[in-house]
Amino acid sequence: MLVDQYDAFLVDMDGVVHVGDSPVPGAVDAIQELRERGKSVRFVTNNSRARRETLVEDLQGFGIEADPEDVVSAAWATAEYLAEQGIESVSLVGGEGFAEMIRAHGIAVRDEAVDAVVVGHDDTVAYADIKQATQLIYEEGASLVAANADGWYPTSDGIAPGTGATVAAIEAATGAAATVVGKPEPRLFEIAMEGLSPERTVMVGDNPQADLVGAEAAGIDAVLVTGTGGDVDAGDLDGVEVSPVTTVESLATLFT
What is the DSSP secondary structure assignment for residue 243, as one 8-state letter?
A: -
CA distance 126 to 230: 25
Bond from prior residue into 184 cis (ω within 30 degrees of 0): yes
For residue 45, give the nearest of 7, 77, 20 by alpha carbon. Answer: 77
DSSP string computed for 117-135: EEE---TT--HHHHHHHHH
3-state DSSP helix/strand/coil % of the chain, to nearest 5: 40, 25, 40
The one catalytic residue among 7, 12, 122, 233: 12
Count other Cβ atoms within 10 Å, centred on residue 155: 14
Indicate if 12 belongs to the active site: yes
The one catalytic residue among 4, 14, 111, 231: 14
Q: Is 56 helix (H, G, I), strand (E, B) or coil?
A: helix
Count other Cβ atoms within 10 Å, centred on residue 255: 15
Indicate if 150 belongs to the active site: no
Catalytic residue numbers, as ranges: 12, 14
